Amino acid sequence: MSARSGHIADITLLLGSAVILAALLAWISDSTRERIYRNEQAWIQQRLDALVPPRSHDNDLLTDRIEVTAPEILGIAGPITIHRARQAGQPVAAILRTVAPDGYQGPIELLVAIAYDGKLIGVQVIRHRETPGLGDAFENRDRGWLERFRGRSLADPPQQRWSVRPDGGDFDAFTGATITPRAIVKATRRALEYYQANRERIFAAEAPQ
Amino acid sequence: MNMQATAIGQQNRQVLLVLALCPALAVSDTTVNALGLGAAALLASVVACAAASCLRRLPGQVQWPIGVLVLTATIGATSLWLDAWLHELQRALGIFLPLLVANAAIQLRTQQCAGLAPPAAAMLGIRTGGTMALVLLTLAVARELVGRGSILHDAGRLLGDTAGTIDLQLFRADMGFLLAMLPPGAFISLGLLLAARNWFETRHLHEQEQDR
């Protein structure tokens, strides 16, 4: 009988402390949620502003966005976010937050900014786990590499040369790393293809609120 | 027989400590990351020791689960707090912050802390966690210096604008000595550090013997 009441005391103690700690964590989570959300937004805003200068549009990129799913063109199963830049209601550019699924060490998250006429404004890598010193050359040794996308479009270079040089394309690979640039070039081309096929729909769709 | 068992036991604890260091080693590539994880490790260590000491009067079966609960809650809260105030640092530490629970749980289990009064146990926690933070920091400074030629690389991005100017580029390495930055570099540096420690210890012993 006493062994049993001992067990009950133990269980109460364990449950009690679990409930107290869970309540504490819930409170902390609740009080930091808004700030964490703002951090996340600021983080994306900073990268969007670096690609599409704030003076070139007058709408809020963060809220003027849609989510689309197109596994057959983009090559990724999940939805991607598209931010839209407008000036006085006229479309200026679309920024696709896409993913190159075939990086050397997992997916590479990209921002691909495309002007309304279909020319690339720029490409930025926002998250990656490529090998330091080799695959991440775009942020160290070969900083200008991503710049080479500026002004390109689906017609320039022609479609069959929209790949890295080792595959017969027009884009240089890094010394000692071909897989990373190949993945980025491919994802960029796919983003352009999606844009070309869906341009009007991208800008017409209502932003979900 | 008894001596052998003790020797194995002691060796095991050292092996455990080295194993527990492994996840931490992954973030010892820059000084700022090491500082962040070191501080979190210090906190976890103090909490683990204090918890072990405070919970010693509780019945044996619930001591361990409640201790683990307290630890995970502490790390969870730390992670949220970092996410809110030092967003980029939290991102850089990634999965290695939650993994600290495993390190600290080893301390929770040792009898050392449970035998002490809470303040003394907390002091022991500070010593243990402080040592770990120091090891991480030493490794990180060495690796960053060799691999990048800088100290406090990216401090501005990771710690907020106030720290923006303390980023020191000593020479242009440009990832020249890449090995130091890659995971094997962490193990090589740790090996060198342990070797240096052993060398000091044997030399010290030697001097003591000579004094006699």
- Digit-by-digit pLDDT tens for chain B (212 residues) are 455 555 555 556 666 666 667 777 777 878 888 888 899 989 988 988 888 888 888 877 888 888 889 999 999 999 999 888 888 888 888 788 888 888 788 777 776 777 788 888 888 889 888 988 898 898 888 888 887 777 777 676 666 655 555 666 666 655 557 777 777 888 888 888 888 888 888 888 877 777 66
> Are B175 and A6 an interchain contact pair (Cβ–Cβ within 8 Å)?
no
Model confidence at A30, in pLDDT bands (50, 70, 90)?
Answer: very high
Comparing CB atoms, the residue among A9, A21, A132 nearest residue B69 is A21
> Are A28 and B182 an interchain contact pair (Cβ–Cβ within 8 Å)?
no
Give me the pLDDT at residue B1, please: 44
- Separation in Å, CA of B119 to nearest CA in chain A: 22
Q: A138 and A126 in contact (C-beta within 8 Å)?
A: no
For residue B194, give Cα distances in angstroms to B33, B189, B190, B200.
21, 9, 6, 10
Question: Which residue does chain A place closest to B79, by CA atoms?
Answer: A29
Give me the pLDDT at residue B13, please: 60
Angstrom distance (rounded) from CA A100 to CA A34: 30
Comparing CB atoms, the residue among B83, B87, B175 nearest residue A140 is B175
Angstrom distance (rounded) from CA A140 to CA A138: 6
Angstrom distance (rounded) from CA A85 to CA A60: 8
Amino acid type, B113: C
Give the torsion sign (CA, B191, A130, B161, A142).
Answer: positive
Comparing CB atoms, the residue among A9, A24, A133 nearest residue B181 is A133
Chain B residues in contact with A17 by the CB 8 A cut-off are: 66, 69-70
Question: Which residue does chain B place closest to A33, by CA atoms?
Answer: B84
- Separation in Å, CA of B74 to nearest CA in chain A: 9
Cβ of residue A55 closer than 8 Å to a chain B Cβ: no
**Residue scoring higher pLDDT (A64 or A141):** A64
Give me the pLDDT at residue B56, please: 82
> Are B73 and A134 an interchain contact pair (Cβ–Cβ within 8 Å)?
no
> Are A21 and B73 an interchain contact pair (Cβ–Cβ within 8 Å)?
yes
CA neighbor of B97 nearest in space, from B52, B31, B33: B33
Cβ of residue A6 closer than 8 Å to a chain B Cβ: yes
Chain A residues in contact with B55 by the CB 8 A cut-off are: none
Cβ of residue A69 closer than 8 Å to a chain B Cβ: no
* ipTM topping 0.85: no
Comparing CB atoms, the residue among A10, A17, A28 nearest residue B80 is A28
| Pick among B87, B90, B150, B177 to test the A interface (most A CBs inside 10 A) | B87
> Are B84 and A36 an interchain contact pair (Cβ–Cβ within 8 Å)?
yes
> Are B178 and A134 an interchain contact pair (Cβ–Cβ within 8 Å)?
yes
> Are A25 and B58 an interchain contact pair (Cβ–Cβ within 8 Å)?
no
Give the torsion sign (CA, A57, A61, A64, A65).
Answer: positive
Report the half-sphere exposure of B27 (CA within 13 A, side-chain side).
Answer: 26
pLDDT in tens, A82-116: 999 999 989 999 999 999 999 998 899 999 999 99
